Amino acid sequence: MNRITYHPIGIVHSPFRFPEGTPIQATAAKDIQARIEIFPEYRNGINDLDGFSHIIVLFHMHLAKSKSLLVTPFLDSEPHGVFATRSPGRPNPIGFSVVELEKIENDILFVKGVDILDGSLVLDIKPYIPQFDAFETTKKGWIEKNAHKIGDQKDDGRFKI
């Protein structure tokens, strides 16, 4: 198998140092603010990003250690295949969050609605564009019966580091 190597473009500075107590999705972190520091060699890549209200942040979940293919997610008591969940314990611990971009100052993105741990390395940033990224869904799998529970759910420690 071929090896894949990524180079981080920045680092997240958030109030969450440990998974336990961190919101489990960005929608449960509406008012949580953080900064994303873009490394100098990638500074030109954020030109024109300030024209978007929301961005997609892809990041390395550096504290995720477990890699089970069956997990019991936060909003259910039954195990599911990891690819049918957003569990941090994955074969490749890549996180995905849509956050509100409040402003950009020099190499710093000020964002809100953050469920990302402090020190997480950013792999990529993309603009969130509703016409491209928001789909009307007809099936929501196992989450259908539990989606209303998200509220302000926080990590309860089930995915130990």
Question: pLDDT digit of tens for each residue in the chain (161 aa)?
Answer: 789 999 999 999 999 898 777 776 666 667 889 999 999 999 999 999 999 999 999 999 988 877 789 988 777 788 889 888 878 888 899 999 999 999 999 999 999 999 899 999 999 999 999 898 887 877 766 666 666 555 555 555 554 54
Residue 50 in domain: yes
What is the predicted pLDDT for the residue at 140? Answer: 65
Assign residue 63 the CATH number of its domain. 2.40.30.70
Residue 41 in domain: yes
Give me the number of domains the chain comprises: 1
* Residue 24: C-alpha distances to residues 82, 85, 129, 145 (Å): 15, 12, 23, 17
Residue 26 in domain: yes
Residue 62 in domain: yes
What DSSP string describes the chain? ---------EEEE-S-SSSTTSBSSGGG-TT-EEEEEEPGGGGGGGTTGGG-SEEEEEEE-TT-----SEE--TT-SS-EEGGGS--S--SS-EEEEEEEEEEEETTEEEEES----TTPEEEEEEE--HHHH----S--GGGGGTGGG-TT-B--S-S--
Residue 58 in domain: yes
Residue 146 in domain: no
Residue 39 in domain: yes
Assessment of whether the complete model's pTM goes beyond 0.85: no
Q: Which residues constitute the domain of residue 60?
A: 10-130
What is the predicted pLDDT for the residue at 161? Answer: 45
Residue 136 in domain: no
Q: Can you name the residues that pair with 141 across neighbouring β-strands?
A: none
